[in-house]
Amino acid sequence: MNPDSTLVADRTSVLTPVDMSRYRAGVQTPRTNTSMGIVISYMDGRVQTIPFTLSVQGDGRVISSDADVPLESPRVTLLLGATPFDAVAFGQSNPIVAESGSFAWYVPNGTYRVEVTASDFAPLTSASLRTNDNIVNPVLSITPSLLPLEEELARTLSEADGALETVGAISRVFVNRGVQSVKIVRQDANVQQAAIVAAPVATAVAATTAVSLATSFSLIRFLHYLVTAPFLLFNRRRRKQWGVVYDSLRKLPVDLAIVRLHDRATNRIVKSQVTDSHGRYLFMVEPGRYQMSVSKPGFTFPTDHLKEQKRDGEFLDLYHGEDVNVIESGSAIVVAIPLDPEGVKERPPVRVTLQRIGRVAQYAISIAGLVVAAVVVVIQPSVWTIVVLALQVVVLALFVRLARPKKPTGWGIVYDQATRRPLARAIVRIFEPRFNKLLESKVTDGQGRYAFLVGPAEYYATYQKPAYKTVEVRPIDRTDTKEPTYISLNVGLERGRNVTTVEGPSASSGESSDSTHDVQS
């Protein structure tokens, strides 16, 4: 090869030999991508041209976060792991003073971080940067350091005129300091790395909770209800009567039950609705012969407890699966549909306690997931992190709606009869006496509290805790009520091993429906 060969482009540069097989040339490159070529002249007169496209990467920059302008002469250090990268071996300097905030390094492909320091600015260390094109050139935003609060307030107050302007100025100082503090925290490499890890964790928490809701708490039915709810809302002002689905033993409305209307002539489903929180549904139909079916996990239809009955207290026109003949156009089907609750197993106290702990833990995880997602949005805002936060909000709202019981209007308390101290983790069970069916179990909280929501019927309850006598309270008469009420008796337990049965409040006792009633063994 001729040592006098030249590199030809917009500018030319003479090649100088490095050894017998290698040559070097210094070329001033343009600022944009361009086509270039190497022209080689051989000793025998042949000429070879090697064209190529020069891909020009812009410099990295350090800009001020409050003004979005390049920073003058910051000190920029390239880190490989925890130590500065050896740039001298590649003909470069590290660290460098970045004139006009511009910098870049040619490096072996790998993972690096960039550290920036500047006068009057908080130090910045970037998150890990993975390079695949041998260039490190990120754009980094650095935040001014916080001024001492006394100094900033003094300067602000000296410029304020009047009491109202002074209050506004002080408020702006604290708001701006809060925003600036968040920006400084975001500059920390460990915080950025934590945000990168936390984003998929928050997504996994939301997905896990959503799956739990879908499998255990009727999420699919709730979504179905959201689709059919506009029809109920549209007719709410026009009608005073509704069909209702209710629990045949507790006399409570059953929400999120799917009610399907079948055309008997074709045996096809013509309409379906999901009951609202009051167990309500409504079908407006044309003349014909119809039949209804109802499904809800934990319940069976038609009822066996109330078969052949047409009235159950305040519930009229009980429906048991028979045909419904409609004669007039636009008629409404508004019958009461009782469902029998499936048998609830009387689980050991340990199992009941673990279930309550699991529910509390699931709620705590949902809250933690929301907090983590919010922090990730603050530290690393992007479309993806905002979507994850929105997903967490929706999941938490669904959990509160589907899995968290409503707060009772009054609490019953289980306490030690000798010391009068509340007893935590006592097991309280509510039964229906006619069929002797367990309806629900509760674990008292740290203050010994519990409550059961029931309808107008008769019940009995048991109160149990290790080392204490089991107390059975019967009857608990709620037949004089028309609306759902809470059973919230104050029950004292005595140490021992026997079972004690005591009389509960009756419908004629004079106690209000939601009032507490003291019971001692």
Beta-bridge mates of residue 416: 493
pLDDT exceeds 90 at position 408: no
How far from 123 is each of 79, 115, 405, 455, 472, CA to CA, in Å? 14, 8, 49, 65, 68
Please write the tens of the pLDDT for every residue from 425-483: 899 999 988 888 888 888 898 899 999 988 888 899 999 998 899 999 988 888 888 78
Sign of CA dihedral 209, 211, 215, 219: positive
Quick check: 221 and 274 in contact, CB under 8 A? yes
End-to-end CA distance of the chain: 110
Please write the tens of the pLDDT for every residue from 315-371: 888 999 899 998 888 788 888 999 998 866 666 666 666 666 766 776 676 677 777
Q: How many residues make up the chain in this entry?
A: 521
Quick check: 213 and 403 in contact, CB under 8 A? yes
Higher pLDDT pick, 313 / 3: 313
Q: What is the pLDDT of residue 405?
A: 60
- Report the C-alpha gap between 399 and 371 in whole angstroms: 15
Q: What is the pLDDT of residue 144?
A: 82
- Report the C-alpha gap between 257 and 448 in whole angstroms: 33
Q: What is the pLDDT of residue 420?
A: 92
Beta-bridge mates of residue 261: 271, 292
Beta-bridge mates of residue 312: 315
Quick check: 468 and 493 in contact, CB under 8 A? yes
- Reported confidence tier of residue 85, pLDDT bands at 50, 70, 90: very high
Q: What mean pLDDT is predicted for residues 68-96? A: 88
Residues 6+ apart with CB under 8 A from 25: 7, 13, 14, 15, 16
Quick check: 468 and 428 in contact, CB under 8 A? no
Lookup result for tokens 């500065």: 84
- Report the C-alpha gap between 36 and 446 in whole angstroms: 78
- Reported confidence tier of residue 421, pLDDT bands at 50, 70, 90: very high
The CA-based angle 11-17-21, given to 5 degrees, is 115
User: What type of residue is 146?
Assistant: L
Q: Could you check whether the bond before residue 381 is cis, i.e. omega within 30 degrees of 0?
A: no
H/E run at residue 78: strand 75-80
Sequential DSSP letters for 235-260: HHTT-S--EEEEETTT--B-TT-EEE
Q: List phi, psi (to 5°) of 243.
A: -75, 150
In the sheet that 139-142 helps form, which strands lie side by side, from edge to edge? 102-103, 60-64, 139-142
Residue (of 441, 443, 442, 446) closest to 422 by Cα position = 446
pLDDT exceeds 90 at position 194: no
Higher pLDDT pick, 144 / 213: 144
Sequential DSSP letters for 402-424: HTSPPPPSS-EEEEETTT--B-T
User: What type of residue is 325?
Assistant: N
